[in-house]
Amino acid sequence: MSKRKAPKQNPNSEYCDFLIELADYEKNVENSMFKSKVYRKAASILANHPTKITSGAEARKLDGIGDKIGKKIDEFIKTGTLQKLEKIRVDSSAVAINQLTRVSGIGPAAARNLVDDGICSIEELKKNNDKLNHHQKIGLKHFEDFEKRIPRSEMDKHQEFIIDEISKHDKEFTACICGSYRRGAESSGDIDVLITHPTYTSKTKGKGAGKNSKLKKLVDDLTKANYITDTLSLGEAKFMGVCKLPDNESYRRLDLRLIPGDQYYCGVLYFTGSDIFNQTMRQEALDKGFTINEYCIRPVGSTGAPGEPIPVESEKDVFDILGKEYVEPTDRNK
């Protein structure tokens, strides 16, 4: 969800910032998801490197950093900028598309349509609110708050508030905030909560949809508690919206995911991340004859077809199945 720059305590934040800027350009303007992912992966690798990179050659020693990115780092060190970025920054259409896609709910296609209609800035967007759908209007309404990162001290309060309110509803619910927060980050872009209940399983999923769904009742309770302020979307298993703590003026993006109990720990593992850690886990699983995703871990048969899900009752169970030492969430940033 987040489109913010890298936190400044990162010693390689300057490199990460230009890589994220390039990633946004490739995704939003050039529609090249492959190049965008390459840039974002490189930014993630550099963000988690403990010391300042001083040359492209040093960067290329890191797994996932290739020659082209190494040359860009050398160019940045030598000139303080990138020629490609300078060209992008004077391309009015590219600048407008990148700015508009910072609004929650506005993707590249919608941004291009707005630019074609002559809307090229956030200020112009505010004057043309009638052209936006519900999600986009909410994203624009809280644009300034959504641009700010959430300090860890505030994230702690969100987790405490959510768990307390959910426990009031039903003490059998289990919930945790995943993403960078669970990995120990000092700040987060948004709040991604995973929730489960022992009576909600992959076999019962779909049978409690509608007004009586477990998730809707939770959302209703959090709304009555004046925590949830806006709803972007609500289904049986996922809520997207906006929240605010009672003692805080900032509005934050909130996702609630109701995960079947038998899939919860694979879900927690996946949504904790990081992306690079998940890729490594998937590859190690394949190397050892298993396939793993956000739902389950399954053995792969001789024909290549996956078998039945293996029951897991903790994240550690997944590591044990793979014969891998358990990795604490705070050590999953690489």
Q: Name the catalytic one among 3, 35, 61, 72.
A: 72
72 noted as active-site residue? yes
The crossing angle, in degrees rounded to 10, of helices 13-28 and 67-79 is 120
Indicate which residues carry an active-site annotation.
72
